[in-house]
Structure 1
């Protein structure tokens, strides 16, 4: 209490020293600024850790809550939830000690008790008043900033007169009959070796099996439930395989993704899928979950998932996704070694697996055929 009285007396003295005639808002602003500049040094100099134990009741550097800090790496969500439950029924022996639970109860109930406002675009004066400016922003009729308008441009027609002369000449002409190799039309649904068999190498279960309709299904990972664990845990997996001839491949598409909670797929370094919310990346980053109101610094960081430059979410989505897809990844393939990268982010428990549907050209039957297209017109003219 002595500390409060001394600061109050000091501020009162500053207020007297700064007294001046106030007649306009600018005078009030300048008076407040002068008051703050005069008193900030005096007040700030008396607020420090050395005097805290003398003037603040229950001040201590060994509060029980310090055990929750652990250099900023502890998960304090549970401690906060326990404090909320405890304060619902707790009654302190005096009003001073009751302030902590009063503040906790206020913050717990505040979101449901605060008034909510609805802005109607049909009646709100700010929105309705701006329609005229939006529809006709130009202040000068015909200006480039005015509303779009129709202009007629006339281009006169131009005429060209051309003449030609045709004469008949006699000449000796020769031609060639060409032997060409003709082949049956292309068809697919076979395994012609464009994808090198048994070239798969990955750090998860891999299978390459026919589906009975001419397709081969490449599965990377196991479609099961919760065989990985962690909160915001990242599981990176790679599958490599060889392609002898990309031209033989008619389809190579990502057709299924089964995972919990997040998944990203890359083909030879190009991102082809981020789910379940889309995006262009899948990273686990730390964000400040709680700020110390005394220091203004973050007191606790938690893991969040970033899936675009401004997109963040908690890791836990509580869903095992199983999406049927049709994403063409053939443009990203190449002859030689290819790599499919899969990143799964789980919270609590999770899994990750993908399926790709592939299809290749079938061998073609070919035969010899004479091409008489050069000589046939000459033979017709000679008749």
Structure 2
């Protein structure tokens, strides 16, 4: 019992010393100080340009209907109910909101609980120790005792031997010679070998360049204040050698895609990085303002007539598009977004592809050497 009293006295003394040396942390104050120190630096990055670069940015978010609401309790409760049965889609960014709501709403219920009996040795042992503790003398000092036990080492040697002995054997045929033996010396035996050779005409093939000229204008098929997408085909016979986009005229705005890749465009800055295929223009009958929405119904920007811009007047990009072209059928997609009046919607492509042609033949006999060996 004396040993128990000494042990708890030392533990109590150490706990008293440790608690006296601690400084009560204030996470709230530290967080406020950190936030204020970075407020100016962070707030400068919050602007329309950076916001438009965020995934799923829109000027009219679904939450805007709750702006100015006196209570957000019903909004939160409705969102919890909606996310509880929502099915996650393929867009991981779009799934983040319901993932967070489900975690906060359901996590306390899903935590694994470990019931501990009052008679568990851990609980019972702690209670017995506390209830049976008595006061001790905190002035007693702990002493250090050094015990030296000499290490004992032993060295053992183990040798392994692989004993071998010479063995003699005979390989091959043993020829027994007697008086009636018949010897054959310097005799060559024939052997059969199979070889392939070619004898006949060998064609001479050259790569002949074939010019390609592709030009299309869909301007008459683009009514005013509409967005039209035209999917066309460019058939290339042979291996593409050199293809160039020589002409582009689209009023007011548009994109040119080859096999799904954007090759050239004249668009507003707000549309940069967006796929405007199959987009649509919506006009407000009350205000007369027009807006452009992409094929996923995302709002891109308000739309207006910027006059006859450079794309309307015609441009000669003269850029190399060989890397976008392959042999066979190539999909040419032209997007034309019109405004006040009907304008051009055209592209011109010129190129060269090579096709193999037979220009002659040579008679050859590749079997001469093999025939000589067989004689």
TM-score, reference length from structure 1: 0.34
Q: Which has the higher strand share?
A: 1
* Structure showing greater relative contact order (alpha-carbon pairs closer than 8 Å, 6 or more residues apart): 2
Q: Which has the larger radius of gyration?
A: 2
